[in-house]
Structure 1
Amino acid sequence: MPLPTPPQTLLRDAALFLDFDGTLVDIAERPDAIRVEPALLGLLQTLEERLQGRLTLVSGRASADVRAWLAPLQVSVVGSHGLERDGVTVARSAALDEGLSHLRAVLARHEGVIVEEKPMGAALHYREAPAAEQECHAAAAAVAERLGMEVQPGKMVVEIKPAHGDKGTAIEALMAEPRLAGTRPVFIGDDLTDEHGFAVVRRLGGAGILVGKERETEAAFRLASVTEVHRWLTQASEVLA
């Protein structure tokens, strides 16, 4: 059965968690080629005010990268799939540089593959080199096994990251903070990496909203595109006014 559109009243008494790429901005061919519309900054500022600070971006990108794209807006950001957040420090693997060298060997064999270095891991993007998918996944699996990390697949990307955190664990930790007591979590995301978050908010009595095409998911609702996300968030913010 198709997932319904979320009701515009869903954000009442809610804590809102938002993915970034594929949710607030359209996915680009390269991570540095996204476009952040000026109207998005105004929308996020309005949500921050009307939710009284109960707004957090939860991204696979480094938190500093997300903040740079959203400057000068000041908003709470959790980065690196939940591993970067206030008060939490995850050590960078001492052997990660060696692993990056192995991943860059894939880059040398396939024009269009991008190695994105992250604070505690790395990502291989093959959107511009789809024929390299199998080799990218094999390289990521080999490096992850060697470093004691885990593989996180996504849309035309495969990542290696520490094994002890994800978007779900980050959301759960944030929901335990006194400032969010008595609220319901709502998480909007598009990728497989967001399923951890959907599962947690569902367990905590909230709801996940999937962005994009129908698929097997822990989300309760769906919006078809980034444009639809912007439209729905605008309408939902008006309900909060």
Structure 2
Amino acid sequence: MTDPSDSLSLAEHGAAPRDLPPPAPLRLNARTALFLDFDGTLVEIADHPDAVFVPDTLGETIHALARALEGRLALVSGRAIDALEAMLGPLEVAIAGSHGGEFRPAGAREAEALAEPLPAHVLERLSSFARANGDMLVEPKPHSVAVHYRRHPGALTGLLACAEEIARSEGIAMKHGKQVVELVMPGSDKGSAVRAFMQRPEFQGTSPFFVGDDVTDEDAFEAVGSLEGAGVLVGPLRATAAHWRLPDVDAVHAWLDAALNPSAASKGI
């Protein structure tokens, strides 16, 4: 298995990290737990969060994987749970939304909060900056707030400075993802969500995989690595704690489909 610290140490010394191998075929057995990011992993990132294309079959694929794993699957997304279900329909699988701030085991209808709600004045401070600098898209969530700057790249320096100052003064975290800057409450991170799921009976004794694309997934990559599992980075190579890499969303779907249909995959269908 590739040591993720090799990639990180090379990047810190100015050298390009070496490429990561593709993951082995996914085995849906009693030793496997699977955690999946959403944007950039199961669907392509779009200019607007509401503009992503969601395949009609995606919801059923997620449920099929959960059934095959006897519940040892969870979606772990930066989106709120309500936003995920608006795109995928009602979900019976385990979900962590808002970067882990919302935690909902499989079959439950109410989410447990792993973080405090975002204070209203934090939302207003960041929203005021966004309005004054091109009216950037602001995405409020229960435990965080995201500002998407894809259409306003020139505002990034000021946005980062504003978000960093708010984060320092409020004692909260700032995350800089793909064309988005987000302020999140303590405890609202994907690594904490993975660890919380792994303490549940259905996940115990398994080797967890986390599949994600963004720097906001690094907490989860580190978590699964410490739990005798592995992270799968989706997209271009970068410094990461992941062990393996898939080039794009299509490759993720092919990897998952092959696990659900191993006989077809072995015949090259």
Class of the TM-score when normalised by the shorter of the 2 chains: over 0.9
Specify every segment of 5 or more residues in structure 2 that has no aligned partner in the other structure, as ranges: 1-17, 105-110, 265-269
SS of equivalent to 1:178: coil
Tell me the amino acid that sits aligned with residue 66 of structure 1.
L
**Is the Cα contact below 8 Å between 1:11 and 1:240 reproduced in 2?**
no
Amino acid at match of 2:144: G
1:24-71 deviation digits (Å, cap 9, x = unpaired):
111110111111111212221221111111110000111111122110
CA distance in 2, matches of 1:219, 1:72: 30
Inter-partner Cα distance in structure 2 for 1:65 and 1:120: 14
Write the letter of the residue equivalent to 1:54: R
Find 2:251's aligned residue among 220, 228, 238.
Answer: 228
1:99 correspondence with 2:116: no
- Which deviates the most, 134-143 or 15-24? 134-143
Equivalent residues in 2 for 1:191-202, closer than 5 Å: 191-202=214-225
Shift of 1:116: 0.7
Q: How far off is 1:231 after superposition?
A: 0.8
- Identify the residue that residue 111 of structure 1 maps to in structure 2: 134
Residue type matched to 1:51 in 2?
A: L
- Counterpart in 2 of 1:171? 194
Q: Are 2:183 and 1:160 aligned?
A: yes
Query: Residue 121 of structure 1 corresponds to which residue in structure 2?
Result: 144
User: Secondary structure of 2:112's match?
Assistant: coil
2:204 paired with 1:186: no
- Aligned 8 A contact 2:26 2:255 in 1: no
Distance 1:122 1:85 in 2: 17
CA contact (8 A) 1:62 1:80 kept: yes
- Matched residue of 2:75: which SS? strand
Return the alpha-carbon distance in structure 2 between the equivalents of residues 136 and 234 of structure 1.
40
How many residues end up aligned between the 2 structures? 239
* 1:11 Cα offset (Å): 4.3
Structure 1 unaligned regions, length at least 5: none
- Deviation of 1:121 after TM superposition, in Å, equals 1.8
**Residue 41 of structure 2 aligns with which residue?**
23
Shift of 1:10: 4.6
Instruction: Tell me the alpha carbon deviations over residues 127-161 of structure 1, each in whole angstroms, 9 at most, x when there is no partner.
Output: 11111111111121122223221111111111111
Normalised TM-score (structure 1)? 0.93
User: Quick check: 1:50 aligned with 2:68?
Assistant: yes
Q: Call closer, same or farther: CA 1:32–1:61 in 2, change over 3 Å.
A: same
1-10 vs 26-35, which deviates more? 1-10
2:81 matched residue in structure 1? 63
Stretches (4+) displaced over 4 A? none
Report the identity percentage.
Answer: 43
Higher mean C-alpha deviation, range 11-20 or range 191-200 = 11-20
* 1:166-225 CA-partner distances (Å, limit 9, x unpaired): 111110121111111221100000000101101111111111100000111111111111
User: Cα gap change, 1:164/1:41 in structure 2, threshold over 3 Å: closer, same or farther?
Assistant: closer
Is the counterpart of residue 2 in structure 1 residue 2 in structure 2? no
Contact 1:5–1:223 at 8 Å: present in 2 too?
A: yes
